Structure formats: C-alpha cells, structure tokens
Structure 1
Amino acid sequence: MTVLGAVSLPQLPPERLRDLARAADDAGLEELWLWEDCFWGSGVATASAVLGWTGRLRVGVGLLPVPLRNVALAAMEIATLHRLFPGRATVGVGHGVQDWMAQVGAQVESPVTLLREHLTVLRALLDGEEVTVDGRYVRLDAVKLDWPPSTPSPIFAGATGPRSLRLCGEAADGTILTGGTTTDEVRAARRLVDEGRAAAGRVDPHPMVVYLLTATGPDAAGRVAAQLRREGRDPVAGGVAGDARTVADAVRRWADAGATTVVLQPTGDEPDPEAFVRFVAQEVRPLVP
C-alpha cells in the first residue's frame, strides 16, 4: 500500500502549526512532513510539538542539514523523539542547501564525505554503541547515548545527485526525494539507490519518500506551473493540479515509478493549509490503493 502524507510548509507561522496538526490528525492523515529550511524554524522543535498535540499522526522531518548539526546532538534529539513518541517519527538528514550552508559558515569541501561520516556515526549512536572516531569532519571521543531509542530507529537521507543517492542506498534506511521530482527521475533515483544497496550488501527494504507538488481549486494548474518554473523544474511533469481523482491518479504514477510514500506538497501560495490536509486525507486517500 502506498503511504500518503502532506507537507506543512515552513513558511507557515509556528503559532498556526497546532491548528494544522490537529486538522490533519482529526482528518485521519497518515503522515505530516516538516522541513528544516533556513531560516524558517527548527525541524525537531516543530516535530516534537506536533507529536505532542496529536494522538496518532506520524511525523516526518525531511530533512536536518548535517553541516548545521553535530552528530552527537542529532543523535540525542532523534533518540528523544523516538523514546517520547515510539513509532511515530521519521527523521531524515542531508547535505542542506549549499548557499544556506555557506551563509552560516558551515559549508564543507566534500558534502558527500560529511554525509557518509554522519550517517555511519549516527547509526552507531542510535544503536546504543560507544563511538570514537576521527574522520575528516566527524570527530567523537568515547560518545555513547544514555537514552538511545528503545526500538529500532530508521534513518532516512535526502539526496538528488548520483553519488549521494548511491550513498543513501549504502548507509541510510530510506531515501527522501525533493518536490518537483518527475516519475522518470524517481525511477533513476531508485536504480542509483539500489546500486548503493547492492554495493553494501544490503537486502533490507528501502522506503523511498517523494514530495509531489500539488494544488487543487481555482487556478491550481497555474499555481503549480509557476512554482515549478521558479524552481527551474519541469512545469508539466513535476507536479499535479486538479480534483481528488486527478491527484490520486498522479500518486499512483509516482508510486509505480518507485516511491513507497508520496507526500503532497502544497504550493507556497496555498490559501488554506488546513483544507489542504483534509483534502489529502479525506478525498485523495480513499482513491489511492
């Protein structure tokens, strides 16, 4: 079965998040995804709040930029979420937008090396191991979490480039693809991830999450096309606009291309975020296998 979720854009003021979260929970939405985009707000703080405000809603964070976060701090925060809300949080990490990383003085020469080191050490810490490492970017001396997750905690990673996608297959437990990703790009990403998995000898299932830019209602097609053009993406193949049936058909296409979770991403000018999550949960979900 395809998992269906929705994005709460970081442009939404934090004080409005409670109403959106409760609307999503009441409507039966499966997953609400949050972003840690500079300089809107914290992904971990908002995830914790949403999980506390709701009873059954699963929350994804996609993603935490690893140049901004010491891996020990990232492990502490992720472990805390998993212990407070078992089985309800999915956290992804990634390179972050390089312009933003440069803006805060955190850009590194080799983002792929940093992500590899971060993922390897993060996995060990969340598994309760004591870690001493002296890598190019990640350095720890006898670090061990006092409160590691009490249940297995999958680590997702977000990527776009071939090397990073292969790394997701090698070192992460799932992959997150950005909004605007076409079905052909999903297929290509799945191949690259599988190459990484094969190289690492991994045979475990590897979920793939994709954000699908979506609009419904008046001028939906124009809103989607305009945003995709601004982002330099295909204004025809990178999103969907229309009624619930049209959106559900698109979800199936992205799922057939290799996505296991399709997260509908509203446009930046979405006039009613609460109505959007209700649309996803109550109108689109029943039409998606």
Structure 2
Amino acid sequence: MEIGVSLSPATTGNAVDDVVAQAREAADAGLQAAWFGQRFDYDAIALAATVGREVPEIRVGTSAVPIYPRHPLLVAGQANTAQAATHGRFRLGLALGARSLIEPAFGVPYERPITRLRDFLIATRSVTVDGVVDYHGETLTAVTVRPAPLAGAQPPPPLLVAAMGPQALRVTGELADGTLPFLAGPRTLEQHIVPTITAAATNAGRPAPRIFAFLAAVVTDDIDAGKTAAAEHTAFYDGIPSYQRVVALEGHDRAADLAVVGDEQVLEDAVRRYRDAGATDIVVTETDLLGPESRSRAWKALGEIARSLG
C-alpha cells in the first residue's frame, strides 16, 4: 500500500517554491506520493511535473483535473510532458467536476457527463499509449494530424478518475487504471465502489483497478479545534450531489463527519479500516488545517504507518 498526501501551496511568497519544500518534507517523513487538486490559481499537471522533477523520491499525481472544458489532445500532451519530466512517476487523475462549478466558470454546458468521460478516456489513452488518435466520439473529436509520441514519456502515465457513482465507476473500470474517491468511507468503498469498478474491469479484461482512497485527517490533541476546522473546510462539499450521495451511503449527514480527527493511533486505525475495505492506496488530505506543526505530526505518523504496512 502506498501512502501519500495532498499538497496545497501557501498564499504568500512563491507558491511553487513552497509546495516543492512541502514535498521534500513529505518525502523525508517517509511518504511515497504527493497529489495536487486542480484549482483556478495554478495548473495541477504543471505543478505535479515540477514537484516530481525537483523531488525524485516521490511519485506525483493530479486529484483531479476536470475534463470540462478541456480537450484530450491537450491534456494528453501535458500528461506526457509530466511523465517525461518525472521519469515515469506521474499519474493523471481526471474528474467530471460539478455542474455548479463548470457552467458558471467556463460557460460550457455540463451535458452527457458519462458519455463525455468515455470519449475523453478513449482519446487520451490512445495518445498516451500509441502517440496517435483518430477518434470521433459522441461528444468530442480527437485526431492527431501528425504522430505525437513523446520521448521519455514511458511507460504511459496511468489514467485515474475521481469516480464514485455507479455509471462513472463502470466506465472507469472499463477504460482507466483506477479511481480516486474522496469522502467515501470504508462502508461505501467495500459495498459500492470496489465491487462496481472491479467487476467492470474484469468484464473488460483489464487488470484489477487501483483504489486511491482520499481521507481528510487532522492529527491533534485538541479534538474540538480539529473538528471545527474540518467542518469549515469541508462544508463546500455538502452542496455537491456526488459528495452528498457518498456521505449518505456512509450513514452521515455532512462531509465533516468523515474527517479523521485525533492522535496518531486514531489516524493509523483509520488507514487500516480503509485498507481492509479495499483501498489499495491511501492519500491523506487536510493535514494542514491546524498549521504546520499539526501537519508535520501527521506526516511523520503516516510515514511510520507506511513503513509498518510495507
């Protein structure tokens, strides 16, 4: 099992320098991967490529880049560049995104998301694996007018999808290499996510998918402060239908109810629960909600957990 963390740059100084320093600290603590969400202030693929090149001890990935309004030819080119820059340590995580964000921000209709996901994955994999594509799907066209393989971008970067609903999971199992569920607890993993994506992969003749379970965790002795910070930071997800569904499947009302708050033993117990539920890998987020000391404490604990799990 690989254990990684999600990184976010500081709001002062130089954001890229800061996140590179964070990645070095994470690697020194024994963590094995760093992940970057896509925001409006930086490009996640470019940031992952930079960090992976500067800190060669860790693997890097995006968690995740929305496919609206991007085109697979451009995303595949970015991913191949990141794979070459990191000498094969990059993972491309994609997401459908949310209608409430996509349409106001980009002015494009959030239509036929599952079909769009299928088209996007087929075209992207063709470019990253073969260097060529001639695909005319229902929602997009992707044609390389000249071959587009990139020297050094081997093996092809794994394709991962932040899929949690049954339709998205089935497409992901059929066409991608794994999923990146966030705020999906152990019960939801074991009873819904893992069986659905695994069956789809098996039916498609693909290898067993990797399940990168993302869980929010704050390591602290001040439980009230940790829970308050987690509630404030995760309230955003309470208004997004896909997250509402997985939170409800776990038997909770709010995203904050899935946050792990407590000491090192509480964190280790949570990691083991997710592993036992079918997670092949763990990514811990929100470790910095109470400041750098709490974050360092969490990363040190996670490094020790990684070593104990082998």
Instruction: State TM-score, norm by structure 2.
Output: 0.83
1:3 corresponding residue in structure 2:
2
Moved more, 226-235 or 165-174: 226-235
For residue 185 of structure 1, the aligned residue among 184, 188, 205 is 188
After TM superposition, give the deviation of residue 210 of structure 1 in Å.
Answer: 1.1
What is the CA–CA distance in structure 2 between the aligned matches of 1:137 and 1:11, rounded to whole Å? Answer: 37
Percent identity between matched residues is 25
3-state SS of the aligned residue for 1:231?
Answer: helix
Moved more, 13-22 or 232-241: 232-241
Moved more, 237-246 or 58-67: 237-246
3-state SS of the aligned residue for 1:44?
Answer: helix
Maintained 8 Å contact 1:245/1:284: no
Instruction: State TM-score, norm by structure 1.
Output: 0.89
Deviations 1:217-245 (A, max 9, x none): 12324433554555334357622111111
1:220 corresponding residue in structure 2:
226
1:83 corresponding residue in structure 2:
84
**One-letter code of the match for 2:83?**
H
For residue 210 of structure 1, the aligned residue among 205, 209, 213 is 213
Gaps of 5+ in 1: none
After TM superposition, give the deviation of residue 275 of structure 1 in Å.
Answer: 1.7
After TM superposition, give the deviation of residue 150 of structure 1 in Å.
Answer: 2.5
3-state SS of the aligned residue for 1:214?
Answer: strand
What is the CA–CA distance in structure 1 between the aligned matches of 2:80 and 2:103, rounded to whole Å? Answer: 28
Residues 1:267 and 1:245: Cα distance change in structure 2 (over 3 Å): closer
3-state SS of the aligned residue for 2:283?
Answer: strand
1:255 corresponding residue in structure 2:
275
1:124 corresponding residue in structure 2:
126
**One-letter code of the match for 1:155?**
L
What is the CA–CA distance in structure 2 between the aligned matches of 1:135 and 1:90, rounded to whole Å? Answer: 24
Deviations 1:14-57 (A, max 9, x none): 242122122112222101111003x2321012112211221211
1:140-289 alignment runs, 5 A limit: 140-143=142-145, 144-147=147-150, 149-178=153-182, 180-187=183-190, 188-202=192-206, 204-217=207-220, 218=222, 219-225=225-231, 227-228=233-234, 231-232=237-238, 233=247, 234=252, 238-266=258-286, 269-272=289-292, 275=296, 278-288=299-309
After TM superposition, give the deviation of residue 120 of structure 1 in Å.
Answer: 0.6
1:40 corresponding residue in structure 2:
41
What is the CA–CA distance in structure 2 between the aligned matches of 1:151 and 1:230, rounded to whole Å? Answer: 37
Higher relative contact order (CA 8 A, sep 6+): 1
Alignment RMSD (CA, Å): 2.4
Moved more, 272-281 or 43-52: 272-281
Moved more, 205-214 or 4-13: 4-13
Maintained 8 Å contact 1:156/1:176: yes
Moved more, 118-127 or 60-69: 60-69
1:61 corresponding residue in structure 2:
62
2:242 corresponding residue in structure 1:
none
What is the CA–CA distance in structure 2 between the aligned matches of 1:259 and 1:206, rounded to whole Å? Answer: 10
**One-letter code of the match for 2:203?**
A
After TM superposition, give the deviation of residue 279 of structure 1 in Å.
Answer: 2.8
Moved more, 213-222 or 223-232: 223-232
Gaps of 5+ in 2: 239-246
After TM superposition, give the deviation of residue 183 of structure 1 in Å.
Answer: 0.9
After TM superposition, give the deviation of residue 69 of structure 1 in Å.
Answer: 1.7
Residues 1:32 and 1:280: Cα distance change in structure 2 (over 3 Å): farther
What is the CA–CA distance in structure 2 between the aligned matches of 1:107 and 1:267, rounded to whole Å? Answer: 35
More helix as a share of residues? 2
**One-letter code of the match for 2:285?**
Q
After TM superposition, give the deviation of residue 170 of structure 1 in Å.
Answer: 0.7
Maintained 8 Å contact 2:288/2:295: no
What is the CA–CA distance in structure 2 between the aligned matches of 1:82 and 1:254, rounded to whole Å? Answer: 29
